Structure 1
Amino acid sequence: MSGEEYSEKKFDGEAASSLVKELRGSFSSGKTQSYEWRISQVKALLKMVVEQQDQIIHALRSDLAKPPLETVVYEIGMFKNSCEVTLKELKQWMAPEKVKSSITTFPSSAEIVPEPLGVVLVISAWNYPFLLSLDPVVGAIAAGNAVVLKPSEIAPASSSLLAKLLGKYMDNSSIRVVEGAVDETTALLQQKWDKIFYTGNGKVGRIVMAAAAKHLTPVVLELGGKSPTVVDSNVNLEVTARRIISGKWGCNNGQACISPDYIITTKDFAPLLVDALKTELENFFGKNPLESNDLSRIVSSNHFNRLIKLMDEDKVSDKIVYGGAKDESKLRIAPTILLDVPRDSLIMSEEIFGPLLPIITVNKLEESFDVINSGTKPLAAYLFTNDNKFKEQFVKKVSAGGLLINDTVLHLVVCTLPFGGVGDSGMGAYHGKFSFDAFTHRKAVLYRGFTGDSSLRYPPYTDTKQKCMKALVAGDVPGIVRALFGWS
């Protein structure tokens, strides 16, 4: 059945079962496991993104009013880099890894053989609908799997374009896109997969994990959380402000899983930081940011209303020191800074995922560790300081998916670093070789010949054999010799 036929019919449990069966047949044929097939499909993805860049920019503009430069840098550019790294390194990643064997198995040799898991499901998010869809797919293809991609229905233009383009450029016998919403996702989750890769929020992540548990299916969960930004007073204030703004509002207007969620700084330094942020925000987005073409809009009315609820709560509405403007008809909210928000407010109890930035003040910066560690573990944590000792403390005491010192979000682009969460912010990681590993089973293989077969391992278990085996297990070569020759 073709991709077009799937899109024309209602996608229910029966259709999902049929799709998985078809892809299992393709995987069982062995075609996806060859180096040539994997390379050809990654090259096809790279060609697709290069040739269809304008369509991709247009789709993201339609879904999120995303500035074209953000699309080119954060979606297309990062994805092209993933493809290029994979094309360069795949042969090495696929090669068996020779490892030492044991004296217990002498003579022998051992290796670890990477093998594909089988048929995998990728469920992606709406905020970076191309990067977060295609980056895991590259890893799944590179590892030799058959893949089903379920894009987010909240970004409908991007979802439709992904289905169209992958249907055109990819091997549809092994790579398929399923569009839809809750019903279609539910039908997919009812099937047995060899791995599920989900990007989104913790609430849905728990649903995905529960569905996977019924089939003992392993999962990668790329979630989110309240990513803190700790700011010392000994920093270059202008650079610090610009980098916080870039990570918060320059990345999808705060609608990013690693966007700075809140700031912690000292009471004395907070006014200086707020003034610096105000100055740079005006430099970036003008006096009326609602009219700026460089800010993404809020993705939907539901998310718009959720953010307004956070901002309008009685205990925080008078804490706004910059911004606060909104336009419901255009789904736009201006960059907004709130100072000294109560720790028990709504805005501090859930991930913001939008253009609101609360600031918490403390007497001493060391108190920031207690603030961060009193909540769930975040996907990212940021620190701005010139104090090397404090940097060491931060790395040691703060548990997060990833840390970045003196900048925000850029650790995402370093493909030699794993990207993933810990605790409530997720499990598993990807990017670069970590994407390949996420969809690979590392199969242990031990090789032995027929020579050197010892009677020691076989009954009857004489005293001499028992002494030899005990010495062998302990790695005591002299003890083995003594036992064999009856020496005391």
Structure 2
Amino acid sequence: MINYTDNKHFSLFNKQEKHQHIVANTSYRERISKLNALQRAVEVTYREKIQDALHKDLKRPIVESDLVAVYLVVKEIKHVKAHLRQWFKKQPVDSQFTLLGTTSWYIYEPKGVCLIISPWNYPINLALSPLVAAIAAGNTVILKPSEIASHCSKVIAEIINSVFTENEVAVIEGGVETAQELLKLPFNHIFFTGSIEVGKIVMSAAAKHLTSVTLELGGKSPVIIDVSANLKLTAKAIAWIKHFNNGQTCIAPDYVFVHESIKNEFIRLYKMALLEFYTEDASKSSTYGRLINEKQYNRLIGYLEDARTHNAHFEVEGPTNASDLFIGPTVITNLPEESLLLQEEIFGPILPIKTYNEIDEVIEYLKSKPKPLALYIYAKRRRIINYIIKHTKAGTTGINNNGLQFSNHNLPFGGSNTSGIGKAHGFYSFQEFSNQRGILKRYAIGPIRLLYPPYTNFKALLARIVVKWL
């Protein structure tokens, strides 16, 4: 047995471990009451503090804060409240003839003590949305928000402390060492959102305790623009989501494949969209955010310098300002495959553009890459849309839109392999935080007794009949 008493967070973990069975047995109404309290805190009590914290951490405009940090969390809560009664019920399943005299069903029971580790790019909703599911499923939770978005981390702690007792839901703030200490504890489930590299560390730590995981990761999400696409709408949609939160979005378009014949027109319309959204000087626009910190700024500057050494063409070269953590909208073409912008996830306001002549060129290229978290298709031709979907793999796909699949709580959201493990949102998050417990009850003597020992020739004949016909 491992001795956890020297772990600085064991005391809190132990409290939740002892309390988990009480929480697990809470009723539907009790869980709804907790969700209502959390909804009031986000939607009313702490709304202005959330907006202020996001502005301090990311210079995020109030509209973006309301849409993502407030609306999506509240929408998640409302969705769960509307369906939780059904999820609470036992779910009957059919039984085959050989099990005549039995009835079968399954229930969703809580996994136990859960750990949620949330990222800095969407620090509020990516902390609270999985928490909603964990509460609905009847778990206790330790939540570790990102220390990089420090103002948001403090607001999250305030919200949680105002709604829950620490033996049910608690926030632990801190840096990498704090996360490392938490990962040593034998949680029943870990829900992590972040980078692929850290996701591997989380999964490795979880494996030591055979802890189940949900990993919401990222990768390079491509956009494919067919000749049949409405280019004006396409350019606006891509420009909007690419620069939402200054490009620091896991499902933002990482690079674009556009048909050679429409490349110049797309770039022209994309420039017009940028001008409409952010004026000629995005640094003075109240709707254009900033990078989270100097580390991310320097990383992206390094990518741009690498592009220049490869003689890439800057179709739009945004100004940069280190003191303001500002990089203006940037569009780059003629990048060689070995360039950092085509090898690494960008996570910023830089858009590489590649061209193609035949769609199979794109298909073969994507097959050689890890499965992306999102793949986007802009086309009117149904045949092309279906062909791309059939011959590619991705966690999610948007057709003639970017990012909207994230906001539909009836859709499973998540990656595949390096872009993630498990699904989230609505029922799918509830399922991640639950154990699907199968139950079979015998209420009458059924035909199975005919196969009890001793095994006679007659029973051997029955076994052969069962194998062949039943």
Q: What band does the TM-score fall into relative to the shorter chain?
A: over 0.9
What is the Cα deviation at residue 472 of structure 1?
Answer: 3.0
Matching of residues 83-102 of structure 1 within 5 Å: 83-102=77-96
Query: Scaled by the length of structure 2, what TM-score is found?
Result: 0.96
Amino acid at match of 2:27: S
* Partner of residue 470, structure 1: 464
Match of 1:292 among 277, 285, 289: 285
> SS state of the match for residue 261, structure 2?
coil
Q: Which is higher, the Rg of structure 1 or of structure 2?
A: 1
* Partner of residue 297, structure 2: 304
* Partner of residue 114, structure 1: 108
Match of 1:343 among 337, 341, 344: 337
Alpha-carbon distance in 1 for matches of 2:105, 2:341: 51
Q: Is the 8 A contact 2:121 2:248 kept in 1?
A: yes
Match of 2:229 among 227, 231, 235: 235
Matching of residues 155-166 of structure 1 within 5 Å: 155-166=149-160
Alpha-carbon distance in 1 for matches of 2:311, 2:61: 29
> SS state of the match for residue 453, structure 2?
coil
Q: Give me the CA root mean square deviation.
A: 1.6
Alpha-carbon distance in 2 for matches of 1:19, 1:205: 24
* Partner of residue 99, structure 2: 105
Match of 1:257 among 242, 245, 250: 250
What is the Cα deviation at residue 266 of structure 1?
Answer: 2.3
* Partner of residue 440, structure 2: 446
Structure 1: which 5+ residue stretches go unaligned? 1-11, 477-488
Alpha-carbon distance in 1 for matches of 2:245, 2:34: 29
Q: Is the 8 A contact 2:99 2:447 kept in 1?
A: no
Matched, 1:174 2:186: no
Structure 2: which 5+ residue stretches go unaligned? none
* Partner of residue 19, structure 2: 26
Matching of residues 325-404 of structure 1 within 5 Å: 325-404=319-398
* Partner of residue 485, structure 1: none
Amino acid at match of 2:105: E
Amino acid at match of 1:63: D
Structure 1 residues 164-193: Cα deviation after superposition (integer angstroms, max 9, x where no partner): 111012233211111001111011000001
Structure 1 residues 77-97: Cα deviation after superposition (integer angstroms, max 9, x where no partner): 111110001111101011111
Q: Is the 8 A contact 2:24 2:139 kept in 1?
A: no
What is the Cα deviation at residue 195 of structure 1?
Answer: 0.6
Alpha-carbon distance in 2 for matches of 1:46, 1:248: 29
Matched, 1:68 2:46: no
Alpha-carbon distance in 2 for matches of 1:182, 1:196: 16
Alpha-carbon distance in 2 for matches of 1:306, 1:205: 20
Structure 1 residues 322-331 or 59-68, which shifts more? 322-331
> SS state of the match for residue 295, structure 1?
coil
* Partner of residue 139, structure 1: 133
Query: Scaled by the length of structure 1, what TM-score is found?
Result: 0.92
Alpha-carbon distance in 2 for matches of 1:243, 1:368: 21
Alpha-carbon distance in 2 for matches of 1:296, 1:82: 25
* Partner of residue 263, structure 2: 270
Structure 1 residues 8-36: Cα deviation after superposition (integer angstroms, max 9, x where no partner): xxxx9523221111101111234554223
Alpha-carbon distance in 1 for matches of 2:355, 2:35: 48
Alpha-carbon distance in 2 for matches of 1:148, 1:17: 11
What is the Cα deviation at residue 450 of structure 1?
Answer: 5.4
* Partner of residue 417, structure 2: 423
Alpha-carbon distance in 2 for matches of 1:61, 1:13: 38
> SS state of the match for residue 269, structure 1?
helix
> SS state of the match for residue 445, structure 1?
strand
Matched, 1:129 2:123: yes
Total equivalences in the alignment: 465
* Partner of residue 220, structure 2: 226
Amino acid at match of 1:168: S
Structure 1 residues 236-270: Cα deviation after superposition (integer angstroms, max 9, x where no partner): 22111110011101x21110000000001122321
Alpha-carbon distance in 2 for matches of 1:316, 1:75: 39
Q: Is the 8 A contact 1:33 1:145 kept in 2?
A: no
Q: Is the 8 A contact 2:258 2:355 kept in 1?
A: yes
Q: Is the 8 A contact 1:108 1:449 kept in 2?
A: yes
Q: Is the 8 A contact 1:103 1:472 kept in 2?
A: no
Q: Percent identity?
A: 36
